[in-house]
Amino acid sequence: MSEELAIDVRGMTKRFGKHTAVDHVDLQVRKGEVCGFLGPNGSGKTTFIRMLCGLLRADEGSGQCLGHDVIKDSETIKRQVGYMTQKFSFWEDLTIEENLDFVARMYSLKNRRATVRQSLERLGLTARKDQLAGQLSGGWKQRLALAACLIHEPLLLLLDEPTAGVDPIARRDFWKEIHQLAGQGLTFLIATHYMDEAERCHRLAFIANSKLLTQGTVAEVIENSHLTTWAVDGPDLLQLAETLQALPGVEQAVPFGSILHISGPDQAALERAIAPFRTSHYRWKQVPSGLEDVFIHLMEKPRETVST
């Protein structure tokens, strides 16, 4: 079984002074899987990814990454992992081609020129190869970064919010590319904020306040949240949202276009809360909880447990 796992780590912990940025996080990702890594800003995603590729020393934790010890063999892991940083981190005063060439030299690749040429072609960068990286738009920068972290044919890709600031078409192309690569056996761990992207992942891991809250497939994550959601359509929904939000049993009342999603973890309490409003003015319907409802639910939960 562990043969099949690309990432298998337990108890990963990182402290910065008094602050624990990552608190005993376990994560298992199978080979060829695309794992979405979700969590609000500052929850510890970047820190966790940096520990996986040896850029930060873990304070606690153990396990394997591509079959190598995640603590001791970080130099070996580095050669087999492609890491795409959250902030664009290629040399803005080098051209696309020069950046790729530099990376290829760093990994001591054989047939360096041919590899760089192929890499340019595959990601559609050939026409722009002499453009300075600093002058590229967000989408092209991201393509360059992806090309660069693929050039040494890694087995695992760690992508930290790769599509931030990228337009929808480029994002769609990007995800097509990722699923193609996953089909060839590459494993992905992708930190993201976007729900539509999360839904494209085989697996999800939610992290909030430095702790892993849940992991599993999209369906499992929704199932495990035990969240009930009702959709309501009618007049003056903003007023209704405010009224409902204050009631016990209602955790969220969020407008989605012209309808309102009301959700809460306790089905009976929720139905009790909305009962007085189920008049002919409104059209009510129970709907499956969306990933976003679950995401917000998970983010709110730790705060509640602290306050009670």
Partner 1 sequence: MSHGRGFSVARLWAIVVKEFIQMRRDRVTFAMMIGIPIIQLVLFSYAINSDPRHLSAAVLVADHGPQGRTILSALRNSTYFQFVRQVETEAEAHAALARGEVQFLINIPENFTRELLRGDRPTLLVEADATDPGATGGPLGALPSILNSALQNDAKGPLEYLVSADSPIDLRIHAKYNPEAITQYTIVPGLLGVVLTMTMVMITALAITRERESGTMENLLSMPTRPLEVMIGKILPYILVGYIQMGLILAASHLLFQVPMVGSLWLLMGVTLVFIAASLAVGVTFSTLAQNQRQAMQMTLFFFLPSILLSGFMFPFRGMPPWAQAIGEILPLTHFLRLVRGILLKGNGIEEVIHQLWQIALFGVVVLTIAVFRYRRTLD
In the complex, least distance from residue 193 CB atom to Mg ion, rounded to whole angstroms: 10
Cβ burial of 158 (10 Å; 0-12, 13-18, 19+) is: buried
CB under 5 to 8 A by kind: which of partner 1, ligand ADP, Mg ion, none does 245 bind? none
Residue 53 binds partner 1 (CB under 8 A): yes
**What is the contact mask toward partner 1 in residues 68 to 87, using x (rule: CB under 8 A)?**
-------x--xxxx-x-x-x
DSSP for 183-228 reads: HTT-EEEEEE--HHHHTTSSEEEEEETTEEEEEE-HHHHHHHHT-E
Q: Using CA atoms, how far apart are residues 105 and 116, in angstroms rounded to an integer?
A: 10
Q: Using CA atoms, how far apart are residues 139 and 161, in angstroms rounded to an integer?
A: 13
- Cα torsion at 42, 44, 49, 53 (round to 10°)? 110
Nearer to partner 1, 56 or 70 (CB): 56
- Sign, Cα dihedral of 239, 240, 246, 252: negative
Residue 114 binds partner 1 (CB under 8 A): no
Q: 4, 11, 42, 242: which one contacts ligand ADP (CB under 6 A)?
A: 42
Q: Single out the segment in contact with ligand ADP by CB under 6 A; choices: 45-53, 128-136, 214-222, 283-291.
A: 45-53
Q: Is residue 58 a contact partner of residue 14, using CB atoms and an 8 Å limit?
A: yes
Residue 52 binds partner 1 (CB under 8 A): no
Nearer to partner 1, 43 or 85 (CB): 85
Q: For the chain, report the end-to-end CA distance as a whole number of angstroms.
A: 41
Q: Which residues in the 44-63 window bind Mg ion by CB under 5 A?
A: 45-46
CB under 5 to 8 A by kind: which of ligand ADP, partner 1, Mg ion, none does 88 bind? partner 1
Q: 108, 239, 305, 307: which one contacts partner 1 (CB under 8 A)?
A: 108
Residue 130 binds partner 1 (CB under 8 A): no
104 alpha-carbon distance from chain centroid: 27
Chain residues that interact with ligand ADP, rule: CB under 6 A:
16, 21, 39, 41-47
Chain residues that interact with Mg ion, rule: CB under 5 A:
45-46, 86
